[in-house]
Structure 1
Amino acid sequence: MESLTSLDFSVLSQQLQSSQGCPALWSILRHAGWSKEQAICNSHKTPENVIMNILSMLSYTRFHRHHCLPMLWSIYLKSCSLSARAFDALHAIGLLMSYKWTTIAYSNIAKTAEHAAQEAVRNHATFISHDNLNIPKRVFSMRLDNQSHFHSACAGTLWVLPDHITFPKTLNWELRETRREGSKTQYNFTEILDPNPAQHQRLRDQGVYRILRFLLESPAFVNYQERDDAVLSPPPPVNLLPCGPTHTIKQFILCTADIDEASYEGNEKRKETSINRLIPIVGDQLTVERLRGLAKYRHDDINGLERLDWLVTVNGFFHLEIAFANSLHKQYVGTSGGIGLHRAFNLLNRKGLLSTQVKGPFWHHLDEALAHIAEAHFRALWMIVGKAARLEDLLWQPPEALVLLAETIYDEYASRRALRMMQHRGEKDEFKHQSILFNSDILLYLDLHEATCMGDVGCLEDLFPYLLMRFAGGGNNKYMIEMLEIFQGLHKEWPESLKYIIRNHCWLINRTGKRNGFVPVDRAQEQNIKDLKVTYHSFGRSATLAYLTKILPAIPVLREVKKHIKWQLDTLLTRGDRHSSPAKEKDVAMYAEVILNEGWYTYEAGHTLKKSDDRAKDFVTQGTITLFQDKAIERWWNGRSFARVTQEKWLEEQ
């Protein structure tokens, strides 16, 4: 990869123009393709790249075996799905290598990546993520031996941690001991009902600051003179992961296995791996559930390899975030005549959001809509609490006053304390009650979303009790079990060294080194699957899974080649890697106006919602009942409590 991405177009063109290159020929070609009028009118469009490629084509016709530029272009255009016929045409004019050379190069890159992955496993701290991969094989002229087929496979990624990070050699045995002893006693889950004051204060500080940001980041406060005042600074992070070039993670895409993840079929590891290594595997809920199921079924096998003692499962936070968003949708969707999400989607013209989906861009659209709706609620509250007709009327307020207003909004309109105060005062206003309930929930959702982007794993842990009760109360039993497993692992079954590894390296990863460059591991795995199925699936829909498996480890190199070419050509920089967010200001202002006009936060005795479907349930309160009174914790414990065998017998020793 270094040889492919080390070719700098500007440096190469300078070398060709220098005395060691071909200055006379360069000058002739420049005058032939670049007039003085063009130099004046199109200063941003210079002929250097054109001339460089003309010289490359001339050189390639004389000697093509070690010519870097056609090789780079061949790899790049193949990764962009250029067809074989187009390859042959461009090869004929000397711009590209042949199609055969390119396919062989792909295969060699993949083999090199496999060897590098094996070397990384031997010499570096690594962990694995994997997920289900569904690839349709379609044919357009069916025969008995040429039929359409749907491949259900498993795709995995090996993540290689930076050189300065190591796993203790005794980690495998430490986990065996602590898991064996820790699984005998259940974590005292009653502790989540009364979080410690420091944790409660951190969540409050985060909520107050987020409410403050809704005001400071609004168009009305663009010219606020005191936005840099220390009083308006964010609260300190709880446990912020380090970032920078030395903390970036490397990845190797593993060969795709033709195994349906929905089944309990898998691969064995070698004896030395089971004894001397511990392998964290990160995945979505289905992945970790299947792996835990395998470990349970084989808990009394003859050795640690068979019992999967070398494996520790880690649930991914991306799918946890999706489950949170879907839970909010279920709780607040209501009807078109209420004050819930259904009506908001209609007013904001957000189509396709009335029923939850697991495929496509549904979560991205829902996440964006939830953020805009939340901002509208809090803009309305700023005007109500600040007694202002417009947000601009608050510009004269000093920073200290804005912080006090934000605290008032949180304590009286966006927290569970506000709900208890309504109940204590005997207020019967379903509009106000449900609006406060929504605010208290949406603030925590936004905290989860931002914590995963910024790498604050301490903030994630602060949200665990709330997530457990929400999933339990919302009927999301599978993710309730995942949260129960996390609590049991962190407080009972994982040694301190493993807790550090999972918190700091297996929940979130950073591939860019930027502060906001953290992503959950399972989200990065989903991005890899997209590349496997779509972006680099340039071998035709009828390509066999065996051929795809041979080629797919080359994808990380192809990514870097495309990124390198992008930064070599200015015209490619204008084409972004992602869609821009739609303009939200009109939608937010309009929805805030609806909230104000209908008086959702103005107490009115007997103000009730007409339909029962519009009355959102309190999932957190219901979750407490489900966990403790309905004995959900007891059922989970009875289903996963079993004695692990300690014997180590190997067939070759018998």
Structure 2
Amino acid sequence: MDLSNTENFSPITADLSDIIEVIDDDERSISSGEASDIETNIPPVPKPPSAPNETIYTIPKDVEDQYIRHTRAKREQKTPHQIYQACTTLIAHMKALGLDLPIFLDAVFWGNDEAIDDRDIQYERTVFLRSLELPRILENWRKPPRSSHSITRPAGGTKTMNSFAVDTVVDLAKGELSHLGPQLHLSTTDDVSPDKLTSINLVELEDLAKDHAPILWSFLKAVLDTGQGKKWRRVSASIAFTIISMISYTQSHHHNRLQKLLAVYMKFRGVSAKGFDTLHAMGLTMSHKWTCDAVERISSQCMSEVVAKMKQYPWLISYDNINIPFRVFSQRVDNRGEFGNGTAATVYIKRDAPKLPDGITQLLKETRAAGLQNPLTASDINDLASNSYPRIQEQMAYLVLRFLLDSPEFDFGTYKYRKSSSLRAPKAVDQLPTGDDHITLQYLLGTTNIAEASYEDNARLIDEWLSQLGWMTEAQKREFALAKLVFWCGDQLTVDRLRHLFIYRGSDDTSYDRMDYSVLLFGWFHLQMAYANSLHRQYLGTERGRGLQHAFDLLNRKGLTKVLTQGPFHHNLDEALRHVAEAHIREDWLEVAEVESLAELRSRPAEELKRLAMRVVKKRASSEALDKLDSKGAAGMDEELRQVIMWNRDVLQYLVLDAAVKSGDVGMMESMLPHLLYRFSGSGNSKYAIEVLELMQGLYREWPKDVADFARHHCWLVNTTGKPGKFCPVDMAQEHNIRDIKVTYRSQGPNIKWGYLKRLHPAIHVIRKVTEYIEKEFGTLVRGSKHTIPKAELDIEKLRGAYHETGLHSYKAGRRIKVEAERAEDYMTEGAIKLNQGKGSAKWNEGRNFERSDKERVEEDEDVEMAPRSPSPLMTLLFEMAEQREAGAEGEASTELL
């Protein structure tokens, strides 16, 4: 190639003449930061898009390919040696012209004003910048290859290229962050709403980062990629977004979505104020002061929200006592630690419930007055029991069938008829619906330092809760009492004291003072506890017999000998009752089906197994079976087998009730009421016998249909998830909220007082939602949220082996229980006898047969507080007797669900 005459030299050949006219060096494209030499009839590459949906324009593929083909054609015409020779010639010519490579390259690439507009230089520059060789050239500048005769890599332009790369990435990242930052803003109006706080999941936030900061995202993902597989890639994406959020937050404190979420989360996961200072300095959370202020704003918003929803939907309320230790670090006369006794309350919003009709308060007064004159009789209760027992028996048979199907020996997974409809659960009597539309909303009220220690305390608590909900003045309260009904739910002690207040105030001046607006309902969770405790008392026995004490000793179950009201006693007792029940029922399957092992039943069709299950119930778990055994007389009596049959009947009904509660079958719960009355009457538990009687009296005598339907469908159970099988009693939900107050989201520090707790606790349902959101999005939800339940098969088989070895389930005429402590009383039968003899029910009816005022006597001066009318001598006597009875009885403590 002759380079002596540079003016006449042109690299443009005839075959590329069609491209010449599209070559240009437009200054506008240079000033935009783009290395493009394409003329205006082929649009230059524009700036990066400002929105995720904006399309980036690329150079037409056919034009770019022509540049590449041009270089390829020239390369194919030369051998490597020829290229080398051309290079040496070119370098020599440059030297002759007084140029070196830096000067030459600087002039070609926009460093010389005249060279910018030269058509030949424009073309060669464009060919170079669009060539496939450019990436390799840049890489070789940054990291030159070693020569074959040297072990040292040339320095090359490593420092310059690295510095250039860093500067370029920094510039690009800053530009991307300026676009991304506003997308991460969470306003002060949105950061108090749980829906707004959790409206975008982590994957969507990561997509925002990918769209608005693609280079920074790619850089972080590449650095975090350790090749550990798909799971790590998911984790690394969360880490990358967290890093980007921290960087964006340092640029502006308005880019704070993740910081606000993590601040609320950390506050209630035990992070101290000093820890907050550190995390805030790192850009990971908001400051501790902001968090405290935000929680108070959330709490205020929650109270406003619950008041608004109470106007829109039906609702109920529950409350229970709470004990909170307050610590101080420097004791003074006016600054001492204490163990505070207070009360926590929850409002439950039932969005799926129909609104009660207008005038329901007055109608309730009338039906109550009529119901007082028409109490339930023993005959009424016996009829209810007779009509409901077939439904209960059907559920008992299904539980017996499940015990067989779930046993490893039967191996249901390989059972030939496992898909038969005969193995399905019986249809629910009255099933509550599930789904998102039926989720119960919970709102905690401000915890107060009024203890539930007396009737006066409960009267103050009613005023406190209604005041927090907006009914503060006397006029507002009177108006409220004439237009609204309040369904109060709690444990037996709470409801009993409210009922005595209701009686004691029966002759007061206004509906509010008389509590005419109140409907009182006991909590089913505490009733289940009372049922389990009665089974414990009834069948404990001794270690030498075959009662519960024998099972506890055989299985080494500690802490179950004595009934306790605190700690995990109820949970442990419930598990033990189930295991003992299943061991007995498996043995009864062998006796009734006349087989040597449960595996032999695998050959029976599903329909036959269902019939056999009902036969097991009738022959080994019913009052009819007891009567049949009693008819054999003293010579034919088998007392030990009789006690097994009685145990099976009682424990299966306990399990039927528990299954109904968890599944939301309120019809089955209602069917159990007369049988529960028999049990509590027979076992001497007069408190729960009265509660069951009061509920039945309300359902069948005193409440209008709308009130009774609302009570059974919306005041017994709640479902905070909307999922099947996730129902729980209202009082259990209250215990869960108390656990959250005391343990899960507890407040720590020396300055925690009742006033702070009152302001804080309405925010807990938001805190709970944010916590679950963070732990779900970052994959930590499973840790500590539930524990693995060990399989009980070894325990059940150990018990079953002990029963089988002694022939406990085989009939033996004349077998006696020799130790009187081993003999269990028949609470069900004794309760039925007491009821039919009028014992207890007559006293109950006498205690509630009172006259109530229906007048509204209001002072003209609204600001004058009215003194209540003096109660009648009968009311005073009843109240004093109740106070004395409560003072002498041991208070019912709330169970700690830790």
For 1:133, the aligned partner's letter is I
Give how far 1:66 is off: 4.4
Percent identity (aligned): 40
Pick aligned residue for 2:855 from 622, 647, 653: 647
Q: Deviations over 1:69-116 (max 9, x none)?
A: 111111111121211111111111111111001111111000000111
For 2:438, the aligned partner's letter is H
Does residue 529 (structure 1) correspond to residue 718 (structure 2)? The answer is no
The corresponding residue for 2:394 is 205
Does residue 551 (structure 1) correspond to residue 760 (structure 2)? The answer is yes
Does residue 378 (structure 1) correspond to residue 585 (structure 2)? The answer is yes
Pick aligned residue for 2:502 from 295, 300, 305: 295
Does residue 9 (structure 1) correspond to residue 169 (structure 2)? The answer is no
The corresponding residue for 1:516 is 725
For 1:402, the aligned partner's letter is L
- Measure the CA separation in 1 of the matches of 2:259 and 2:587: 59
Unaligned runs of 5+ in 1: none
Task: Describe how 1:438-449 pairs up with structure 2 within 5 A.
Answer: 438-449=647-658
The corresponding residue for 1:126 is 315
Give how far 1:308 is off: 0.5
For 1:249, the aligned partner's letter is T
Q: Deviations over 1:525-574 (max 9, x none)?
A: 1101111111111333651011111111000001111111122122x144
Pick aligned residue for 1:305 from 504, 512, 517: 512
Pick aligned residue for 2:350 from 155, 161, 171: 161
The corresponding residue for 2:126 is none
For 2:270, the aligned partner's letter is S
Pick aligned residue for 2:829 from 621, 626, 629: 621
Q: Which moved more, 1:85-94 or 1:432-441?
A: 85-94
Q: Deviations over 1:393-415 (max 9, x none)?
A: 21111112212221221111111
For 1:405, the aligned partner's letter is L
Does residue 486 (structure 1) correspond to residue 695 (structure 2)? The answer is yes
- Measure the CA separation in 1 of the matches of 2:522 and 2:782: 37
Task: Describe how 1:218-367 pairs up with structure 2 within 5 A.
Answer: 218-220=407-409, 221-222=411-412, 223-265=414-456, 266=460, 267-268=462-463, 270-367=477-574
Does residue 609 (structure 1) correspond to residue 817 (structure 2)? The answer is yes
For 1:484, the aligned partner's letter is L
The corresponding residue for 2:253 is 64
For 1:278, the aligned partner's letter is L
Does residue 565 (structure 1) correspond to residue 756 (structure 2)? The answer is no
- Measure the CA separation in 2 of the matches of 1:237 and 1:411: 21
1:85/1:646 Cα in 2 relative to 1: closer, same or farther (>3 Å)? same
The corresponding residue for 2:843 is 635
Task: Describe how 1:169-188 pairs up with structure 2 within 5 A.
Answer: 169-188=358-377
3-state SS of 1:13 partner: helix
For 2:391, the aligned partner's letter is R
Give how far 1:369 is off: 0.9
TM-score of the superposed pair, with normalisation by structure 1: 0.96
3-state SS of 2:520 partner: strand
- Measure the CA separation in 1 of the matches of 2:231 and 2:672: 55
1:40/1:242 Cα in 2 relative to 1: closer, same or farther (>3 Å)? closer
Q: Which moved more, 1:41-50 or 1:580-589?
A: 41-50
- Measure the CA separation in 1 of the matches of 2:728 and 2:421: 29
Does residue 593 (structure 1) correspond to residue 786 (structure 2)? The answer is no
TM-score of the superposed pair, with normalisation by structure 2: 0.71
- Measure the CA separation in 1 of the matches of 2:752 and 2:408: 52
- Measure the CA separation in 2 of the matches of 1:196 and 1:506: 23
- Measure the CA separation in 1 of the matches of 2:813 and 2:352: 64
3-state SS of 2:519 partner: strand
Give how far 1:41 is off: 8.4
Task: Verify the 8 A CA contact 2:398 2:613 in the aligned structure 1.
Answer: yes
1:365/1:44 Cα in 2 relative to 1: closer, same or farther (>3 Å)? farther
Question: Relative contact order, CA 8 A, sep 6+: which one is greater?
Answer: 1
3-state SS of 1:313 partner: strand
For 1:619, the aligned partner's letter is Y
Give how far 1:216 is off: 0.9
The corresponding residue for 2:146 is none
Q: Deviations over 1:280-312 (max 9, x none)?
A: 011110111111111111100011111010111
- Measure the CA separation in 1 of the matches of 2:230 and 2:301: 47
Unaligned runs of 5+ in 2: 1-193, 464-470, 472-476, 863-898
- Measure the CA separation in 2 of the matches of 1:106 and 1:196: 51
The corresponding residue for 1:55 is 244
The corresponding residue for 2:63 is none
- Measure the CA separation in 1 of the matches of 2:650 and 2:246: 62
RMSD: 1.7
1:511/1:479 Cα in 2 relative to 1: closer, same or farther (>3 Å)? same
Q: Which moved more, 1:345-354 or 1:536-545?
A: 536-545
For 1:122, the aligned partner's letter is K
The corresponding residue for 1:78 is 267
The corresponding residue for 2:747 is 538
Give how far 1:43 is off: 4.8
Task: Verify the 8 A CA contact 1:127 1:280 in the aligned structure 2.
Answer: yes
Give how far 1:637 is off: 1.3
The corresponding residue for 2:616 is 409
Pick aligned residue for 2:327 from 115, 138, 143: 138
The corresponding residue for 2:85 is none
1:470/1:41 Cα in 2 relative to 1: closer, same or farther (>3 Å)? closer
Task: Verify the 8 A CA contact 1:80 1:538 in the aligned structure 2.
Answer: no
Give how far 1:261 is off: 1.0
1:114/1:413 Cα in 2 relative to 1: closer, same or farther (>3 Å)? same
The corresponding residue for 1:583 is 791
1:140/1:630 Cα in 2 relative to 1: closer, same or farther (>3 Å)? farther
Task: Verify the 8 A CA contact 2:378 2:838 in the aligned structure 1.
Answer: no
For 1:65, the aligned partner's letter is H
3-state SS of 1:47 partner: helix
- Measure the CA separation in 1 of the matches of 2:781 and 2:384: 49
Give how far 1:522 is off: 0.6
The corresponding residue for 2:878 is none
Task: Verify the 8 A CA contact 1:336 1:346 in the aligned structure 2.
Answer: yes
Task: Verify the 8 A CA contact 2:385 2:671 in the aligned structure 1.
Answer: no
1:195/1:57 Cα in 2 relative to 1: closer, same or farther (>3 Å)? closer
- Measure the CA separation in 2 of the matches of 1:22 and 1:469: 71
Task: Verify the 8 A CA contact 2:353 2:710 in the aligned structure 1.
Answer: no
- Measure the CA separation in 1 of the matches of 2:708 and 2:230: 62
Q: Whose radius of gyration is greater, 1 or 2?
A: 2
3-state SS of 1:135 partner: strand
3-state SS of 2:735 partner: helix
For 1:489, the aligned partner's letter is G
Give how far 1:139 is off: 3.0
- Measure the CA separation in 2 of the matches of 1:140 and 1:126: 42
Give how far 1:195 is off: 4.3
3-state SS of 1:314 partner: strand
Task: Verify the 8 A CA contact 2:432 2:666 in the aligned structure 1.
Answer: yes
Task: Verify the 8 A CA contact 2:715 2:730 in the aligned structure 1.
Answer: yes
